[in-house]
């Protein structure tokens, strides 16, 4: 194996590793930013959270909807929309 081939393989492996890490960071960050604790960490969101807990939607038949259930696009095929929603709406609020 030539030095050029070894360098190409090393570059490919490094790129693959960085890609895996990047995907993990993006998915992990999205999961962390989709929690009710994060959404209500802003003082302006404490009242809507209290209203939700007192509404008929909360606890009915064991369902406890969170902020992300209504405000973040769901599903893997909409993941890019979920990230976009966090970036754009999060920057506004």
Helices (H), ranges, the chain: 3-33, 36-39, 46-54, 67-71, 79-92
Note the pLDDT of residue 63.
74
Q: Residue 11 in 3-state DSSP?
A: helix
Q: What is the pLDDT of residues 38-83, one digit of tens each?
A: 877 876 777 877 887 888 777 766 677 878 887 777 877 888 887 8
Quick one: which of 41, 63, 38 has its CA closest to 52?
63
Please state the pTM of the whole predicted model: 0.58
CB of 81 closer than 8 Å to CB of 73: yes
Domain residue limits, the chain: 1-29, 34-93
Per-residue pLDDT averaged across 24-43, rounded? 82
């Amino acid at each position: 194996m030539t030095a050029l081939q070894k360098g190409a393989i090393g570059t490919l492996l490094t790129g693959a590793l960085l890609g895996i890490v990047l995907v993990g960071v993006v998915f992990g960050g999205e999961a962390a930013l989709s929690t009710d604790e994060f959404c209500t960490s802003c003082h302006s969101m404490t009242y809507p959270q209290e209203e939700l807990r007192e509404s008929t939607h909360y606890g009915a038949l064991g369902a406890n909807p969170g902020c992300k259930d209504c405000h973040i696009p769901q599903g893997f095929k909409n993941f890019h929309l979920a990230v976009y929603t966090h970036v754009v709406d999060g920057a506004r609020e």
